[in-house]
Structure 1
Amino acid sequence: MTDIIVLGAGYAGLATATNLAGRTRKTPGVRITLINASSRFTERLRLHSTAAGHATADFDIAGLAATAGLTFLPGWVTAVDADARTVRVDDERTLHFDTLVWALGSTADTSDVPGAAEHAYTLDSLADAQSLAARLSDLRTGTVLVCGTGLTGVETAAEIAESHPHLTVHLRGRDEPGATLTPKARSCLRAALTRLRVRVETGADIVEVLPDDADVIVWTAGTRVSPLAAAAGLAVDERGRIVTDPVLRSTSHPHVYAVGDAAAVRQRYGVLHGTCQGGMPTGVHAALSIARELDGREPRPFRFGYYHTPISLGRRDAIVQFTHPDDSPRRGYLTGRAAVRYKETVSASPWPTFARMVRHPGSASWWPRGGRFTR
C-alpha cells in the first residue's frame, strides 16, 4: 500500500486531493488521506463578503471525499517528522506516509505589530468572518478601521462601506490602494472608494494597534505560514514557506510536495505570491507529478503565468486589471458591471471543479480563476 497524505483542504489542497483521486482511481494499492481542521470548505475569496453580512455557501469536505474515494480525517496537524515520514494529528494519532502534500496555507500576520492580535478581527476562517459580521450588525454608528491597503484590505473596506453606509470606514496602510495597477485603473479604484466614502490613509507603516483606534478594527496587512514546516526539518525561506524544486517537491525532502500559500514556488520572474490564482494550479500539478511517479515516470517542471487581477468593490462594482505572465499590468482593464460579471465568473465557487476533477482529472490545464499553466 502506498500512503499519500494531503495536509490542508483549502483551494490548493482540495485541487491536489481530488485530481490525484481521479488519476489513481484505477491504480491498485494507493491510499489517499486528506487531513483538515474543519469538515467544511472555506471560500476565502468570499470572506470579506461574509464579514459584511452576506450569505455563505456550505460545502461538506467529508461528502466530497467519500465520493472521490478519499479518506478524510478531521483534526489539527500538531507535528510532522519529514525524515521519519510521520504526521501527528491532535497529539493523539500518528500516521505514516510515503508521499506528503503540504497545503496548510497561510493566516493573517498579527505577530509583528503590537495590539494587532488583541484588538483586530482577521479573515482567516468562516468563524472569523461571521464574528466580524455580528459585530458590524450591532453598530448603529461608529468607525471601522481596515489595516492594510493590499487587495484584501481594499475589498474588505469597500464591502463593509457598501453594506453598512451608516458606518465610517477608514482604509490605512503604507501603499496607495491598487499600487500594482496601471495609473488609469488605479484612478478608477480610488474613485470607487471615494464614492463609497472610504477614507484612505497611506504613506506610513502601522506600528501599533490601539483599542480606541476605531469601534471595529480589521487586520489584512500581510500573511504568515505555519512554523510546522521548519520544525519538521524541511528547507524553508525567510517567510517559513517550503522551498520547492521545479516540480514542486521540497528541495530537502523530495517525498514532500508543497502547494499554495505554504510553498515558495520559483518561476523565471520570481516567487509566486499566495492567491487562489496560483494555488489551485500548483495543486493540480502536484497531483499530476505524483501520478507520474507512481507510473515510474519523471515529473515535469511547473510553469505558470498570471492573467489578471480581479478586485471586487462591493456587490455592484469591480476592477479587473489584465496582466502579463509575470503579474505586471497590461494596458487593458475592466470596470463597472462588466468587471463584476467577469469577476463573478472567474471567482465562482471551485466546488463543482473539484467534483469534476475526480471524474475528468486531465481536463484541468487552464484555470478560469486566473492562472495559465502548462503541464
Structure 2
Amino acid sequence: MGTHEILVLGAGYAGMSAAIQLAARAGRREGVRVTVVNPHERFTERMRLHMTGTGQHLAEFSIPQLLQGTGAAFVRGWVTAIDADARTVRVDDARVLRYDTMVYALGSEADTSAVPGVDDYAYTLNSAQDAELLADRLARLGDGGTVVVAGSGLTGIESAAEIAERHPGLDVVLLGRDEPGASMHPKVAAYLRAALGRLGVRVRGGVEVVKVLPDAVELAGGETVAAGTVLWTSGTRVSPLAAAAGLRVDGRGRIVTDPALRSVSHPQVYAVGDAAAIRQGFGIMHGTCQGGMPTGVHAALSILRALEGKEPKPFRFGYYHTPVSLGRNDAVVQFTHPDDSPRRIYLTGRLAVRYKETVTAAPWPTFARMKKMPASGAFWPRGGRFTRTRAAR
C-alpha cells in the first residue's frame, strides 16, 4: 500500500489548527504524509491586522518553523487549480501535488469586486502586506486628512477606532448599512458608539457606498463623502477554486459540508473555516476565528478516524462571545447564546481589554501545545480558550 497523502490548503487559523493536529498525531505515522500549502511562510494574525494597518509591529511567526519535527512538510506557493476527480492540486501553475485527503482552508477576504472603484482606490486588510500599505498611507496622509472606513461590522469598528486613536489628527468616518453594534445588546451598542465618539470617529449608519472615487466615496442617492484614504471592510468573498473544481458550493462559493465537515460532493475533501458552509442547529456558521479553529481541529480528528476505519463524528459548535477592541485602552465583550444572539452579560473598558487580549492572544502557544500533544488528547475550544480534553475518537 502506498503513502496516504494529506494536503492542507491554507495556513490561517483553521488550516493551521488542522495541520498541527494532523502533524502531531499522524505526521510521523508510517504510510501517512501531511503537507501544508500556503503562499507565505509567515503566519498572518487576521484578527490583529487593524493594528498592523496603523503601524504597530506584531511578532512574526514562521509556519515551517512550527512544523519542524512533526514530519509534516511545507510547500510555499499559490494554489491555482484543483482537479477534484484526479485528486491533484496545481501550485503556482508549475507544480502538481497529489492527495488522497484534502483539508480545504483557503479562507475569505474583503470583497473588492462588488462596488466599482474599490479595487482601484481602496485599501483592504486582506493580508499583512495590505495592512502595511495602509499603515504607510496613513503615516503620509497628514493632519486634517479624511479616512473613510467602509463597512460597520466588527472589522470596520476595530479599524476605525484604531486609526482614530493612533492618528488623532485625522478625520475618521465610519460608514455602513447598519449602526455599529446593531446585533448586540442595546447597552453594549450604546457603549460602543459612545467610545467611537470619544475617539472622534464620525459614524453614519443606514448608508450604502456604491462607488469609490480617487478622492471620495459615492453613496446611494448621489451624495459624496470626501476621502483622502478609503479602507474597505464591507463584505467578504471566497476563492472560486472550489466551484471551478466541481465541488458543491453554496451561493457564496463556500463548500457545502456534511456533519463531519466533508464535502457533500467529494467526501475526500474536508472544508473548514470561512471557506466552508457548515450547518449547525442555528443555521450556517459565519466566519470567525472563534469558529474556524474548532473546525480545523474537528476535520483533523475526522480524518484520523477515517484512517483507522472508523466513521467520523458530527461537528457541533456554539458561539460564546464577541470581543471588540476600541483602540488599545478600551473594548467591549458581548457574551452570546450558542446561535450568536446577544445575552445580557457583557464587559466594557479595561476589564474587557484584558479579557479580549487573553482570549484572542496569538495562537502560537496553542499550536505549540498541540504539536507536543500525546496521541490520546486533543485541544478543543471553550469560550475562546483551548483546553485539553479527550479526543473525539
TM-score band w.r.t. shorter chain: over 0.9
Runs of at least 5 residues in structure 2 that lack an aligned partner in the other structure? 217-226
Q: 1:231 aligns with which of 244, 256, 266?
A: 244
Is the 1:6–1:100 Cα contact (8 Å) retained in structure 2?
A: yes
Whether 1:350 and 2:363 are equivalent positions in the alignment is yes
Q: Which amino acid aligns with 1:9?
A: A
Q: Tell me the TM-score normalised to structure 1 length.
A: 0.98
**Partner-residue secondary structure (3-state), 1:304:** coil
Deviations 1:11-61 (A, max 9, x none): 000000001111214532100010000011000000001111111111011
Residue 2 of structure 1: how far off its partner (Å): 0.4
Whether 1:363 and 2:382 are equivalent positions in the alignment is no
Q: Which whole-Å CA distance do the structure 1 matches of 2:164 and 2:330 have between them?
A: 13
Q: 1:97 aligns with which of 75, 96, 99?
A: 99
More helix by share: 1
Residue 259 of structure 1: how far off its partner (Å): 0.3
Deviations 1:72-113 (A, max 9, x none): 000010000111100000111111100000000011101110
Q: Which whole-Å CA distance do the structure 2 matches of 1:165 and 1:39 have between them?
A: 34
Q: Which amino acid aligns with 1:264?
A: A
Q: Which whole-Å CA distance do the structure 2 matches of 1:22 and 1:59 have between them?
A: 19
Query: Equivalent residue for 1:196?
Result: 199
Deviations 1:175-206 (A, max 9, x none): 00011100000000010000001000111221
Q: Which amino acid aligns with 2:178?
A: D
Q: Which whole-Å CA distance do the structure 1 matches of 2:141 and 2:39 have between them?
A: 32
Q: Which whole-Å CA distance do the structure 2 matches of 1:129 and 1:276 have between them?
A: 18
Q: Which whole-Å CA distance do the structure 2 matches of 1:284 and 1:209 have between them?
A: 40
Deviations 1:290-327 (A, max 9, x none): 00011111100000000000000000000000000000
Is the 2:321–2:383 Cα contact (8 Å) retained in structure 1?
A: no
Is the 2:366–2:386 Cα contact (8 Å) retained in structure 1?
A: no
Query: Equivalent residue for 2:124?
Result: 122
Percent sequence identity over matched residues? 65
**Partner-residue secondary structure (3-state), 2:215:** helix
**Structure 1 stretches of 4+ moved >6 Å:** 370-374
Query: Equivalent residue for 2:300?
Result: 287
Runs of at least 5 residues in structure 1 that lack an aligned partner in the other structure? none
Query: Equivalent residue for 2:89?
Result: 87
Deviations 1:103-143 (A, max 9, x none): 00011101110111111000000000011001111122210
Instruction: Provide the alpha-carbon RMSD of the alignment.
Output: 1.4
Aligned length: 375
Stretch moving more, 201-210 or 42-51: 201-210
Q: Which whole-Å CA distance do the structure 2 matches of 1:371 and 1:348 have between them?
A: 11
Q: 1:149 aligns with which of 148, 152, 169?
A: 152
Q: Which whole-Å CA distance do the structure 2 matches of 1:14 and 1:112 have between them?
A: 30
Q: Which whole-Å CA distance do the structure 2 matches of 1:367 and 1:245 have between them?
A: 23
Q: 1:247 aligns with which of 255, 260, 277?
A: 260
Q: Tell me the TM-score normalised to structure 2 length.
A: 0.93
Is the 1:304–1:371 Cα contact (8 Å) retained in structure 2?
A: no
Q: Which whole-Å CA distance do the structure 2 matches of 1:205 and 1:166 have between them?
A: 26
Whether 1:24 and 2:26 are equivalent positions in the alignment is yes
- Cα gap change, 1:183/1:371 in structure 2, threshold over 3 Å: closer, same or farther? farther
Q: Which amino acid aligns with 2:161?
A: A
**Partner-residue secondary structure (3-state), 1:175:** coil
- Cα gap change, 1:75/1:26 in structure 2, threshold over 3 Å: closer, same or farther? closer
Q: Which amino acid aligns with 1:312?
A: S
Residue 359 of structure 1: how far off its partner (Å): 1.5
Query: Equivalent residue for 2:172?
Result: 169
